Amino acid sequence: MLTIAELALTKISPQTTISLGGGSNVYKLTQVLKQHPELKLTLVSPSEYTRIACQELGLAVRPLNATDHVAIAFDGCGAVDQSLNALKSNGGIHTDEKIYAQAADQYILLATPEKVALTLPNTVQLCLEVIPAGVPQLLDRCQQLRLRAVLRRDEVVATFARTPRGNSLVDVYTADWQVIDTINMQLVSFNGVISSSYFKDVVTTVITLDQDGNAVEITKEA
C-alpha cells in the first residue's frame, strides 16, 4: 500500500531544491527523505517547526535566498476543493508559504481524504495576516460584510498570536464559501492586510488517499 509520503517521493528528482511546508504529512515526507541521502537534495522551508524537525533528523535546511530555483514546494492544507483551490489557515504562516509556492515550479499539497472536497467547507476559516494597527478597522469591515472575525489568540502564551513579522492573525468565518473569491478580494484589498490563507490557482497537484487507502494524485488536468 503506497503512502502519501512515498508517492510524493516519486515526484522528486535527484540534486534539486525542495521546499517543505508545514503539517503532519510533510513531516512524514521528511522522514522518508532521511532514508534517501543519495538524492542529494537541497531543502528550504517556510516553517520553523519543519526546519527544526529537519535538523533533528540530520537534514540541512538552507534559506530561500540561498538558492536560485525550487523544483517542488510540498505543503499541507486545511481544505482543498475540486478546482485545487485551498485554505491553509491553521498554521498562520500562509504569507511565507505563498512566497515559497511562487518560487517553485510545482506546488503540491499532501492531504488526507477528509480535507479534499467538492467545495471548501465552512468548518475551515479564512485567515488574514494583518498589521496590528489595522486590526480594529478590519474587524469593523468584516462586521459590515456580515462576516464573523476573531483576533487569534496564542494557544500557549496568554496573548494574541503573532506571525514571524510580528503581525496579527484574524480568523474569518461565514456560513459558506461559495463566494470566497469575492470575500477574499474585499478583505485582501483592505489597508493593513498583508495576505490571506486562500490559495487560488496556486496548487498544481494534490496527493491524497483513495477509498482503499492507497496514495493517489489529483492534478489540474484531471
pLDDT in tens, 1-35: 899 999 999 999 999 999 999 999 999 999 999 99
Average pLDDT over residues 182-196: 97
In this predicted structure, the answer to whether residue 221 has a pLDDT above a threshold of 70 is no
Residue 202 has a pLDDT of 96
Rounded to whole angstroms, the Cα distance separating 176 from 148 reads 12
- What are the angstrom distances between the C-alpha of 133 and each of 162, 183, 188? 13, 21, 15
- Which domain covers residue 57, as residue numbers? 4-118+200-219
pLDDT, tens digit, for every residue of 33-67? 999 999 999 999 999 999 999 999 999 999 999 99
Same domain? For 36 and 75 the reply is: yes
Let me know whether 156 and 61 are in one domain: no
Coil/strand/helix, residue 135: helix
Same domain, 205 and 132: no
pLDDT level of residue 222 (50, 70, 90 thresholds): very low
Residue 192 and residue 165 in contact, taking contact as beta carbons nearer than 8 Å: no
39 and 21 within one domain: yes
Instruction: Judge if 98 and 205 occupy the same domain.
Output: yes
pLDDT classification of 102: cutoffs 50, 70, 90: very high
Q: Provide the domain count of the chain.
A: 2
Tell me what the mean pLDDT of segment 165-182 comes to.
95
Contacts (Cβ under 8 Å, ≥6 apart) of 38? 14
Who's near 46: CB < 8 A, 6+ residues apart? Answer: 19, 21, 22, 64, 93, 96, 97, 99, 100
Mean pLDDT of 112-121: 96
Average pLDDT of span 171-177? 96
Q: Do 95 and 141 fall within a single domain? A: no
Say whether pTM exceeds 0.85: yes
- What proportion of the chain, given as a percentage, has pLDDT over 70? 97
Q: What is the pLDDT of residue 158?
A: 52
Instruction: Please give the residue that has the higher pLDDT: either 67 or 199.
Output: 199
